[in-house]
Structure 1
Amino acid sequence: MNTTSSTDRIHDGEILNDRLDDARVYDGVRTRRILAFCIDYLIVGLLMIVPAIVIGLLGVLTLGLGWMLYGILFPVVALGYIWWTLGGASQATVGMNMMNIRLERLDGGRIDGPLAVLHSVLFWAGNVILTPFILLATLFLDRKRAVHDLLLGTVVTRTDR
């Protein structure tokens, strides 16, 4: 199966993608990422409604023990959402699709479920450890990448360019 496209060129055995070198695919990515995050956060909140009701009923039936599951509800729902959307065929969450952006690997490979989850976990860990100021890195790093993008060799690009 050939994974190269008409915009790819091969140099010393490495696939180079000319599209990722075009500055236009990064225009407005920062703002679009923020808006996509807000949309996705809302979607995850909505996805938590049914499991939260089930856990509530389970807690009543188990005399309160089931309510301990509330502690893992958000991470489980959010990581499942990330696995199936960002790790899927479009390489974008619903919010990212609405904002016409997607996550891509610099080596041209596909974003799979485990990489998508690792990307999300590194984002949250970076924010917990280094506060949201970690996002200021997008002002200084090439291709408007965040620190977790730099660590994983990924980049967020516009799909409409």
Structure 2
Amino acid sequence: MTNSDTTREPPRIGGSDTARPYAYDPVTQPEYFEGVLSRRLIAFCVDAMMIVGPVLLFGMFIFIFGLITLGLGWMLFWLLSPAFVVWAITYNAVTLGSPASATLGMRLMELEMRTWYGAPCYSLLGAVHAVCFWVSLSVFTPLVLLVPLFNDRRRLLHDFLVGTVVVNNAQRAAALRRQQ
């Protein structure tokens, strides 16, 4: 083995190490950020119903199953908390990792989540985003809601933590661009 073979760095995995610029500029592309905060709030409410609904149905099933089994089925109520957590993370991972890069509520509101450099969201990022959202909401409740008011891209605290940005989808942005 020669000296040049021992000093060579291993190949990098996952792309280049060059700096990437922000994909969406609120100054030159304001249509991507117009109305995002209010639409994101409505999308959150829709997604909360999509997450809480099946868990409530599971709770009603356990209750009825408990009546049928004379109380033995009620010992399954401890499963509600883990089921809620697993379902919430799975919902976000699957929907944000889809080709639309959006949850069902975000699709309804014509929003999508992108990485800060413009790549589509992927499942692991969607799951981590959900966990960071709930942790940041638990720890910094009032401050989390103030963060988007002080940045041009309207990013929340957990968006900064995981490197994402929520923007209007391409169709909505094009429609807003035509109106201007």
- Shared fold (TM-score greater than 0.5)? yes
Give CA-to-partner distance per residue, 1:49-86, whole Å, 9 cap, x none: 44334444665658343221122232222112111111
Equivalence for 2:35 = 28
Instruction: Give the Cα separation in 1 of the matches to 2:132 and 2:55.
Output: 22
Equivalence for 1:3 = none
Write 1 or 2 for the structure with the bigger share of strand.
1
Equivalence for 1:41 = 48
- Identity level (%): 32
Equivalence for 2:139 = 129
1:141 aligns with 2:151: yes
TM-score (norm. length: structure 2): 0.73
- Map 1:45-84 → 2, pairs under 5 A: 45-56=52-63, 63=72, 64-84=74-94
TM-score (norm. length: structure 1): 0.80
Q: Which amino acid aligns with 1:32?
A: R
Give CA-to-partner distance per residue, 1:109-139, whole Å, 9 cap, x none: 3311111111111111111111133111000
Quick check: 2:97–2:122 contact (8 Å CA) kept in 1? yes
Instruction: Give the Cα separation in 2 of the matches to 1:32 and 1:99.
Output: 6
Equivalence for 1:4 = none
Larger Rg: 2
Quick check: 2:55–2:80 contact (8 Å CA) kept in 1? no
Question: What 5-or-longer segments of structure 1 have no aligned partner?
Answer: 1-11
2:110 maps to which of 100, 103, 108: 100
Q: Which amino acid aligns with 1:103?
A: M
Instruction: Give the Cα separation in 2 of the matches to 1:127 and 1:49.
Output: 22
Q: Which amino acid aligns with 1:117?
A: A
Q: What's the RMSD between the two structures over aligned residues?
A: 2.2
